[in-house]
Structure 1
Amino acid sequence: MSASSRSLRALLPSRDDYRGLRRSWRGDIAAGITVGIVALPLALAFGVSSGVGAEAGLITAIVAGIVAAVFGGSNVQVSGPTGAMVVVLAPIVVVHGVEAVVVVSILAGCIVLAAGALRLGRTVSYIPWPVIEGFTVGIGVIIFLQQVPAAVGVASTGHSTNALVAAVQSVRDADWPAALLPVAAVVAVALIMVLLGRVSGRLPASFIAIVVVTLATTVFALPLSTIGELPRSLPAPSLPLFTMETTLSLIGPAFAVAALAAIESLLSARVAASMADTGPVNADRELVGQGLASVASGFFGGMPATGAIARTAVNVRSGARTRVSAVVHSLALLAVVYAAATVVATIPLAALSGVLMVTAARMMSPRLIALVLRSTKSDAAVFIITAVITVSFDLIIAVGIGIVVAAFFALRALSEASGVRREELPGPAMPGDERIGLFRIDGSLFFGAAERLLDRISGQQGIEVVILRLSQLQLIDATGARTLTELVTTLEQRGVTVLIKGIRSEHMQVLERLGTVDSLRHPNHLFAELHPAIEHARSHVARSAVGN
């Protein structure tokens, strides 16, 4: 089998995906049903909160959940609508309308699918931890703020696309004291979830809270807005109308959604792999599976999907070991559509807001926040910048800026760790040694540190021979090699002989290509050991003294 064929097969489902199913099928089915119960209120809530409706959230959990389970790269990942996706989709709905979400779902799915086919799955490992935590906290704040309108019984239409501004406007426009009723429903859901969570982490607290508040609303005929009528079957798949104008206007949002879907799915899969021995994660295949899931969801009128960290964690803790559990989770939700759509329609919107508010609060872990803030000043700054930009502007821009800021601090630290120091010549001192400069270059010689090297060495006076020790140099880039060439050329033009000792084999090619070796006065001025270089320098100084 050719390498290309093996590469393609690695991205496709295989029988190995279900290895061990004979031993784990009971646990997988039980875990799938458990996750389905947990996922039901979340799917409904995320659909409502994004502006596309509870139906779309449920469709996404069903269709995308099955497709991602079969084609994805994780054995226990559970996919569907998530809070982070809501943060991106809500402004798209406001600006472009509900119909645009289907188009964005298909476009973003194709982008994620292409990223997987191009083997870009490992790129998520380059995102620093403070950026991820800042991003997560920012999303948690936005999700919480997005629930304020429903929590006070105010329609979010006509308000700002900024979650903080919209939350303030909703509180201002609420019909007080009538708004205290939905607020009470939110508080009741939150209290039930928190108390049940303390009793046992295995209880489906959100589901129980929704049931209790819905029953109370029905029994006492409370005037609370509800989800409303839901379809009793899945809609037939259809292709939305793609026009050039629509596609061009939505390509930017689609790339933002695709970036988010890729990042969140890969992070979720990585977290799942760390929780239990459920097999390796194929990052590229995970992107292929998530891309196909969003495309399929769009065909059925759903929204873009990602791997859901909370539901995946519940899946693993409930004993899931194969993909069957995620498939069962979707089938359980499908059974709700066909058997309980009428009951689900009576759920108060305020109750769903309560579920999401608690979910958002749990995303903002005080322990992790304190851990980041206590780590280093630079990491704390990256975390705060990412979180603030996520809440204030845009979540994808926040990740990009967070990575740039983290890279700046990393390069500064790398530059500070790099250095040039003048050393004493080893052995007994000899006449003329003061005219020999032995310089050791440590760490990295790259664009962030190269200029300092040039100034440090070229500024030396009263030296006839310079020996550059490069054996401790760990990294050199094109800028560093070019700066080294300029240094040698400058010194030679001033009449200072330059000797280079200990070029590492992995650095030789770039130094040869950028002229460092050729800039030496003589090919013999390149040494593998220090002692011959010092002997050569002393003989050169001695000849110079005789000549004078």
Structure 2
Amino acid sequence: MSAIPALQPRLTWRSAARHAAGLLVPRRSDYAELPRSWRRDLIAGVTVGIVALPLALGFGVASGVGAAAGLVTAIVAGFVAAVFGGSHLQVSGPTGAMTVVLVPVVARYGPDAVFALSILAGLLVVVMGLVGMGRLVSVIPWPVVEGFTLGIGVIIFLQQVPLALDVPKPDGENAALVAVSTLRVADWSVATVPLMLTVGAIVLMLVLARIRRSLPGSLIAVAAVTVVAEVADLPVARIGELPASLPSPSFPGWDNEAIAALFPAALAIAALAALESLLSARVADGMVEEVPNTQADRELVGQGLANIASGIFGGMPATGAIARTAVNVRAGARTRVASASHAVVLVAVVLLATPVVALIPTAALAGVLIVTAVRMIDLGTARSILRSTRSDGLVFVVTVAVTIVFDLVVAVEAGVAVAAFLALRAMSRVSGLRREGVPELDAAEEDALLHEHIAVYRFHGALFFGGTKQFLDELTSVKHVHVIILALTDVRMMDASGANALTEIVTSLQRRGITVLLKGLDASQLRVAGAVGVLAAIGELHYFHDISAAVAHARNHVRHELNGRSQLDCATSPAR
């Protein structure tokens, strides 16, 4: 038997290694549907590639890293996440949410820091997947998710003001303040032309969407605006020269000081990459029934590897992209070949069309991103949340406000914190304690006397750190009672704070000579009660599974107490 404990760590390490291998290694089952779906997958890949091109260029420019970095990210991160991720339908690449986080990073540390940041954040996301944090996204409340999305839409819209006016981006990290500064310093005699191109791209996209939603409106709008700018020889800023091939892989130079400086930003980017990717994958799962659901931990590992690869090739951090993933699903994708082939389409653009892409006005990309931002702002959903409950409305408003004023990760943290506080407050309000009659007592004189000295209290709801004060106050104020029976059958949840309060109550009552009997905890609650010391305080003989047994014990105890007092009174009374 002594050898068994020694083997236990080895078995644990083996199981951990098998778990990690299962998350890191692609599987044959990932492509089980390919013989039946390869045509649809390839068509979907081409469709998504066409949609992703202007978005990748636009997000690269908007983040301050450059169009080439955006394109590299869409190719490298898109392909790696498709192969290693946990979703069959997810399309990954640069996104508006990530752009929002990167703008202040570029302003503070410069564009070159983004590559190291992508690798560092990728490592953190891989670790998150390996330790099983993929399920945490399910605890994020809906108002937080929607508030986060609406806030992102507002920030992306504001970030396009300098691009739409061809004005160099003023210094600053807050998108609203930068937009206001841009309007103040703009030379409107020059800015009118790029603004008209931006408006033209927006109008064309909206018209094409009304004619046929399946048309690649963003690509057509960008192409049309580019042709107009070229034919009219308009003096507007262009994307400029792009590499004619993918850059060679290289690791950015960094030291301990650089890592320490970038770590907070990397942590924020890792949290955002995990959150947005899992939310996007969950949306994709809801759109198709026959495709297996996303493996959350594997999806995190895949996204982490995608970010590492993107940084090595000179790209920016990436996440699962909700809009491109939705296009992928609607185009008929059923396996990860679709998202992998979208990366191949973008490689073809790099190899064959970079001279043409270099001519695209940045104002056209601003138009594409403005339409993307407006589509993220779902006023119907916002109205529904605000009309639902005050608590949900408050959570939604707080998340939107913090997203716009501060940043996305702080917004999610603040939204979840407010939602948790309000949920705990609501839970404590519906929890309570009430006194009940003692069962199985009749009107006989003895039983009536016993009834005066036995009290039954029933607690319902949650016994936790937010709802123990009322419980404590009411019980410790009870008088003229020998035995209290606490019926806890209706306790839905008990944490260590609740169990500790119960221990304090039992100890306080017993100091006053009141015996406490407990009844009705389930197995998990008993474990908590035992660990905290409740059972030790009452003694094992004072815990019951049945109310009848508890009442019988209480009756015997009170009889014993009353008889003992009677005998004591006789012994101490003066002889006649």
Give the partner amino acid of 1:41.
P
Residues 223-262 of structure 1 mapped to structure 2, 5 A cutoff = 223-262=235-274
Percent of residue pairs identical: 53
Task: Report the Cα distance in structure 2 between the residues aligned to 1:292 and 1:226, rounded to whole angstroms.
Answer: 32
Task: Report the Cα distance in structure 2 between the residues aligned to 1:513 and 1:116, rounded to whole angstroms.
Answer: 31
Residues 443-462 of structure 1 mapped to structure 2, 5 A cutoff = 443-462=461-480
Deviation by residue 1:57-78 (Cα, 9 ceiling, x = unmatched):
0011011111111111111111
**Residue of structure 2 aligned with 1:442, choices 460, 468, 491:** 460
Deviation by residue 1:35-75 (Cα, 9 ceiling, x = unmatched):
00000000000000000110000011011111111111111
Residues 65-464 of structure 1 mapped to structure 2, 5 A cutoff = 65-156=78-169, 158-276=170-288, 277-427=290-440, 428-429=442-443, 430-432=447-449, 433-464=451-482
Deviation by residue 1:502-521 (Cα, 9 ceiling, x = unmatched):
2322222222233222322x
Please, which moves more after superposition, 232-241 or 303-312?
232-241
Task: Report the Cα distance in structure 2 between the residues aligned to 1:326 and 1:390, rounded to whole angstroms.
Answer: 30
In structure 1, the partner of 2:501 is 483
1:179 is paired with a residue whose SS is helix
1:532 matches 2:549: yes
1:475 is paired with a residue whose SS is strand
Deviation by residue 1:305-361 (Cα, 9 ceiling, x = unmatched):
111010000000000011111111111111111111111111111110011011011
Is the contact between residue 470 and residue 504 of structure 1 (CA under 8 Å) also seen in structure 2?
Answer: no
Task: Report the Cα distance in structure 2 between the residues aligned to 1:264 and 1:299, rounded to whole angstroms.
Answer: 22
1:472 is paired with a residue whose SS is strand
Is the contact between residue 266 and residue 307 of structure 1 (CA under 8 Å) also seen in structure 2?
Answer: yes
Give the partner amino acid of 1:180.
T
Shift of 1:495: 1.8
Is the contact between residue 107 and residue 171 of structure 2 (CA under 8 Å) also seen in structure 1?
Answer: no
State TM-score, norm by structure 2.
0.92
Task: Report the Cα distance in structure 1 between the residues aligned to 2:243 and 2:90, rounded to whole angstroms.
Answer: 27
Task: Report the Cα distance in structure 2 between the residues aligned to 1:391 and 1:198, rounded to whole angstroms.
Answer: 31
State TM-score, norm by structure 1.
0.96
Is the contact between residue 390 and residue 397 of structure 1 (CA under 8 Å) also seen in structure 2?
Answer: yes
Shift of 1:224: 1.6
Shift of 1:523: 4.3
Task: Report the Cα distance in structure 2 between the residues aligned to 1:514 and 1:256, rounded to whole angstroms.
Answer: 36
Which protein is bigger by CA-based radius of gyration?
Answer: 2
Shift of 1:541: 3.5
1:470 is paired with a residue whose SS is strand
Task: Report the Cα distance in structure 1 between the residues aligned to 2:194 and 2:184, rounded to whole angstroms.
Answer: 15
1:467 is paired with a residue whose SS is strand
Please, which moves more after superposition, 327-336 or 475-484?
475-484
Task: Report the Cα distance in structure 1 between the residues aligned to 2:152 and 2:55, rounded to whole angstroms.
Answer: 16
1:33 matches 2:38: no
Deviation by residue 1:387-442 (Cα, 9 ceiling, x = unmatched):
10110012111111111111111111221222111112235444121332110011
Task: Report the Cα distance in structure 2 between the residues aligned to 1:392 and 1:173, rounded to whole angstroms.
Answer: 22
2:241 is paired with a residue whose SS is coil
Give the partner amino acid of 2:106.
V
Task: Report the Cα distance in structure 2 between the residues aligned to 1:143 and 1:482, rounded to whole angstroms.
Answer: 49
Shift of 1:271: 0.8
**Residues 400, 212 of structure 1: CA spacing in aligned structure 2 closer, same or farther, 3 A cutoff?**
same
Is the contact between residue 445 and residue 475 of structure 1 (CA under 8 Å) also seen in structure 2?
Answer: yes
Shift of 1:24: 0.6
How many pairs align? Answer: 546
Is the contact between residue 63 and residue 296 of structure 1 (CA under 8 Å) also seen in structure 2?
Answer: yes
Is the contact between residue 40 and residue 333 of structure 2 (CA under 8 Å) also seen in structure 1?
Answer: yes
Task: Report the Cα distance in structure 2 between the residues aligned to 1:105 and 1:320, rounded to whole angstroms.
Answer: 28
1:499 is paired with a residue whose SS is strand
Please, which moves more after superposition, 437-446 or 531-540?
531-540
Task: Report the Cα distance in structure 2 between the residues aligned to 1:368 and 1:479, rounded to whole angstroms.
Answer: 37
Shift of 1:528: 1.9
Is the contact between residue 464 and residue 497 of structure 1 (CA under 8 Å) also seen in structure 2?
Answer: yes
Please, which moves more after superposition, 284-293 or 4-13?
4-13
In structure 2, the partner of 1:515 is 533
Please, which moves more after superposition, 313-322 or 286-295?
286-295
1:443 is paired with a residue whose SS is strand
Shift of 1:5: 5.3
Is the contact between residue 158 and residue 176 of structure 2 (CA under 8 Å) also seen in structure 1?
Answer: yes
Give the partner amino acid of 2:186.
A
Shift of 1:545: 4.2
Residues 467-506 of structure 1 mapped to structure 2, 5 A cutoff = 467-506=485-524
Is the contact between residue 238 and residue 299 of structure 1 (CA under 8 Å) also seen in structure 2?
Answer: yes
In structure 1, the partner of 2:558 is 541
